[in-house]
A and B are shown apart, each in its own frame.
Chain A
């Protein structure tokens, strides 16, 4: 045992094995729960089925990808559009809130951040279904809106794109607030005083000092909101209509109703590929150097 320790020490000094040893649980986890499933997914996406209820057989069936690309354009487009709008809305709602908690929260900070997380104590599904009660056609919210002059009689929120986007924004909002809060919390706000000393207006100080410093949080939050939102199907299921269906709806139906595992797998891979590309472009554009949130 003692000998082992000393050899380990030497290893550590030489920096040879220790990093791998420390990484191994993480690597093992990634291999088991990420790499292997993705490989199964790739394999399924390239399979075909002898009959509807047979198990998929690997056969280099590239046509699954063509059909994934060509048949579901509108659903893909909607997924990214809705997720994009939800992400921007989450920034617009989440940033001021995080800013306020970080700067004005004082000794209530932890409590306030705790409150942000409170909705997570309820199941995602239940929260979404609760929205159907809130937004129902003759509910309080809709009746109030209808009291405004010139609102069309058939105006509604449920079963509309606005309903789905609202649901997505609400459900993933905390994922935006938390990272932004963390990056704002780290900022030394004496920097804004320094900016004022240099004749900067509060707005300039925010734009040139605080905002750039909090960008890593915005970046992380955007990914945390956009990625799950793009693949989501529950919000459309309860708050949407056949005309607002997203790609998650298709994948779910292909897997569980139509038993078309190959095309479902191909769709999932295409979704992953598009999201990865978008994230890469986004990180190039926004930069991730300061992402040590």
Chain B
């Protein structure tokens, strides 16, 4: 695949900056500024510069960075999804890339939503578990599903997830898998099991993700623990195994998306990684491989939700309906290279030809049924359980 993304002044060898990669670095940088909820609240309304309430009922969608197509690098570029949507519906849309990190974004909106104040955007696209948290807290509106007929096009396994069992509060934006990423020039072989990550031969060369659900999830699945009904007690063996790995020096580091660099540079022999990154990485470096472990991988997805107090629910429904049309969805997939939740995207990509058609054959973008069957998504963690998970994970990562 050729690179179609805008290159960035990153010091890394990869010019591409995927959404998760951006998450890893800038989330931290911004995190440093986040001194407290009050401060965060103070800057929540101006994250994008534009005026939130510009009168004529504009629709505001706040999303992750580099998570939509940008013709010629322009967000509203001609022929792009946003531009076409505005033309097709007559609905003005404002699209901002204000989400860098789930927790950071939550810290930003929490002071407002806990006081029933609107946060500004009509749609936000947090990851499923965070979406589940917002749903539990009662901070999101029920979706007007009757106005989103195209939601019938969605891949069934991606709707009504454990984080939203009735499917009334969230709809998927894009999805991806976490599995094992490895550098063959260091490992000398393909890795296919989570236990390979604990192989003493790779001591000090193993990376894990700071994203608790992916790291603990993969280890738990390798121990036969299922993710659908998580409790802290049940997951204790997974935490123990991770702790042992840290204590013995097997695990070198916990990273965000910067694992991509460590992997490519050979500082990591293998690590837990995300499918979307590896699609891009393996294109330029054939030594980089990705596998869904025999015991299964995790399936994560970001969802669209309407926060309480949103001023344009109607427009939001119109937008969701628009992007669930396979023709429109394919345009987004061609650019962002994650798993699309919409059926028929594969065929549309083939029709587009060129790079897009090549993407249609990628197992990481269109995993086959047998792969999908091994994937699991996390069930909802209630407040107290989640606090236990986060605290235990923090202890292991050194925080």
Contacts and interface: CB of A to CB of B under 8 A. Distances in A.
Given A258-B391, A261-B36, A242 B396 contact: yes
Nearest to A240: B253
Q: Binding site of A, secondary structure by majority: helix, strand, loop or mixed?
A: helix
Interface in A18-71: 37, 40, 44, 51-55
B398 A132 contact: no
A9 interface: no
Interface residues of A, number: 46
Contact of A136 (B203, B265, B390): B265
B267 A243 contact: no
B309 interface: no
B387 interface: yes
Contact of A241 (B10, B28, B398): B398
Given A52-B384, A243-B398, A257 B103 contact: yes
Given A125-B29, A158-B267, A253-B399, A242 B246 contact: yes
A146 interface: no
Interface residues of B, number: 50
B399 A129 contact: no
A116 interface: no
A240 to B, nearest CB: 7
A255 B36 contact: yes
B346 interface: no
Contact of B12 (A133, A234, A245, A250): A133
Contact of B32 (A234, A238, A250): A234
Given A55-B114, A154-B204, A249-B399, A256 B11 contact: no
B107 A256 contact: yes
A264 to B, nearest CB: 9
Interface in A124-180: 125-126, 129-130, 132-133, 136-139, 154, 156, 158-159
B297 to A, nearest CB: 23
Contact of B398 (A133, A158, A234, A242): A242
A253 B253 contact: no
B38 A245 contact: no
6 contacts: A75-B398, A126-B11, A136-B265, A242-B246, A242-B397, A257-B394
Interface of A: 37, 40, 44, 51-55, 75, 123, 125-126, 129-130, 132-133, 136-139, 154, 156, 158-159, 233-234, 236-238, 240-245, 249-250, 252-259, 261
Given A242-B398, A243-B246, A256-B103, 10 more contacts: A53-B110, A126-B10, A136-B265, A154-B203, A238-B258, A253-B399, A254-B399, A258-B391, A259-B106, A261-B37
